[in-house]
Structure 1
């Protein structure tokens, strides 16, 4: 985050007067007639709110200037309307685009004086209403009262989202910037999937029937495809043989393409885009992100998809929709047969991360293929009875679900990016052929509410039950298995080529948090040894104590400590020491996957200082100071009293088991 916004924040800190002036001018311009229609005031005030949260701008000066700018802009618009009310319609832009002004007049006539207050928030054009108020000869005192009172409420309301966003960024930077970036990427890609599905639907649907008829005429001219064309065109033609032939042809084509690419040209692991996507996914790992992505991956797992399909088949059977039931069986059979068949034929291995997964092949991804076929065919079924303007919604929802499953599989490193895309493409081709025959050979339901309700209930119940019973198991399966590295005590003490991180792993690899402590031994023993020097286990931030952050009056010692992330994991041990002057020191240690003599684990970490950062006197965040702000003299005496510690301040301080009397001397 600092890489992206650091220079901007530095400029704001050095030039706060210009920032405050910009807030006034933005609020003013957004309220002026015509000008306010093109000024992105909401976005700019959102940014100002974020600067308040980060401490670059003060709250009261910013909100006061925003209110003053809004009042001034509305007053100017009112004066223009009162002064030139007869000439306004004759000048640009209203002489060419009269609709905004007409809507403003209608809004004013409906709500009267209250339209000034309402229009500032929800009106048809907040910069138009004051202009219309002047044109309609609204009394100045009534306008001023509505203008001032609404601006006082508008200023904090428009800054508040930015303040919340800035506070979340600051908390994310303290806890795990990776999680914030992952959520931004996930949200952007899901939105893109919905947007693309909607755009493609409105782009293709008007021409779909004409294209299908042209395609059927083309293949009817070829003897090899004539039977397929006849089956697609004839509503009474039996489907089973045609569907089987289409599925077999699709599998054969995918297998031939996959084998030729993997065997003759290149492997999936050799593609830069695949390696980049894998590295990005692995770099964004955090414990909370693991929870989220395990849940999204479950949307394509058999524990959710099989109960969902069974519920749909039962519903179709009970509602006497035998033909539709057969198509659903065809959709399910395709995923069950094609996944193992293509896997063994193409044999593209998964990324070598040591994941505990039963299936060794990357293509096709069973979760992505089943999600594409299941949710795609469900969208085809649900969209038929809908009105034309809403028919895109099932497709958009299906696109979002499939994208979520694919991103989750990419995040855990279960498949290569190109194989995930190929799996989606394979599923799309199949449901396109299946959906074409389904639409031509079955009658649409009068309404899809029953099927939608059954789908929602079955999917929710299966997803909830699976989450409650195997969430932690799924997370463990998707964690890379790293065998420990064995090192000798002599090498550890001599610091010779140790496979131990020297810094807390940073998303941008800036090495801003060096590890200044290494410890070998049980963590409980270290915590016990340091307890005599005032160190105690920290209360970590969790859902049950997060409300304390809403109490800025609490002393720093009573605020929970925000967990940090290294190598995708939270700190294994967190101790705090509250100093007499109100300062707080925090010791954090993480596992290193190294052991001494195959039995003594080695931990690495650091000691930092946290301060209380107040945001608008509504929120308090314990924030870690830069490493240069704390000297080792603040905490070294506590460790110096322990025997035989290496005192070289240029390298990590080593605490060995026998140094603390944990193991007998050899």
Structure 2
């Protein structure tokens, strides 16, 4: 330990015991550094570096510290913006501004050259950093535009100013080792952000131009006559390609057709669906299950139906008869088509729920289709002038759709493609009021109708939850409990292949029946892998990677991370064996561990190390597991996955016993 680290050790120890004070201190620095006038006097960049060094040396969780920094920076710039809008030109007469006249002039020049982007640029430019928010407020930048620029720039500014200090405080040697690459990654991140901002309008413009040409080709009005009425929705959908919303509608339509084709050609779940569902089910304890059940009520048939009828009645009373008809048709058709497809396809649900009386087939999810259709109808019936209400509805409405969709997975009643197909179906049919040409009706109190419908949805979902009707919680799969392995018979069959997030993956190399907390016999040749912390994670960008110092990349089996991860490094410091062990079951003879083995070859790369994984050969398996089984007193029994058991248990199970590999 260096002299500097020794001197700062008491400070690091106190911060480890009082992390809340560290967060408040960082938030105060960020606030003062971003505040108009005050930031001219505060050495904010240096203080943020010191605060980051204290956090890195104290092993404090960095995410709350970054959150404190973002909140402080947003609050400081917001107050500066308010001062600029309130005092206007009087700001020039403040004593501190008169002391630094060049900062105000440079900030005004930056705003005139770059407009709203000056808030983002000014966040990282020294003298104008605490002045630019006040200047844009003084010059009349709209509050909404400033808020977006303020928050987005703060999200980038906090790690850029805090992480170098964290790296320095974590280890002086590590700081010197990874600083260059860390700055390269930050430059790439900022470059990618500005490239995306430059690229999106240039992609959007040709698409909208193509949509305009298509709209002119199909004509301003649908064909006359009876057939024209039937073609009106298709005609309106083609003309909608002039707008971004039209492209989104067609994207949802393509997604629905893709999921429907997948459900027709492959009725069973895909491997990645099984992996994601296993991950969701692993989190289904008592509290998450109840919370998910409460949220999923918002997509139930009763709340969605009452909210739709309320919207229709309000629109009808306001004179929006045509739009009311399209609204009820959009939601009703989404739910009806979902149930018709369920009956026709008969896709089985997870956990054998299709065989029960409470659940129909799986594809598509009627809950996802219903809530997506209702929220889409809300957005389509709002008048064009209600932009603020549209955004206020879009954010919580989109969050509600995502939560209901996620709860169907967490509750274990749908596969992921069922949910995706239901969401796409709801968006396609919920946009019927706009697509079918119902936008020409006069604007009358549509915003109040939407707010009333949303209130009825929330109230009805709450009542359904309190009454436990018509969707009782008892019909859903039981919680998985604490995640501990079940008690099974000694010779019960266990998994032969790891179920990862992308589906079945590596085959298990052994079932190891020895060791309570760690598979027995692997010490002292094997050692625990470095844990995932900020200090160890930064080693992945080191130009000189070492296999013994890098944390192991995560793997899942049946929704669980391995209980034990061990590594073995030989003569080559860039090569290691990785042993992952899942505690799979408990038997009267002891716990059974499922083991996977792989060899990692790690070589230097441009910005990240190059990692190659190799499966062990039979000879390598024998060389790795043989000594460990001998130390643990185990013998190998044949099977789809070799089982290693104690010699006495193996002799009792088989008169001929077993042999080591």
TM over 0.5: no
Structure 1 length-normalised TM: 0.42
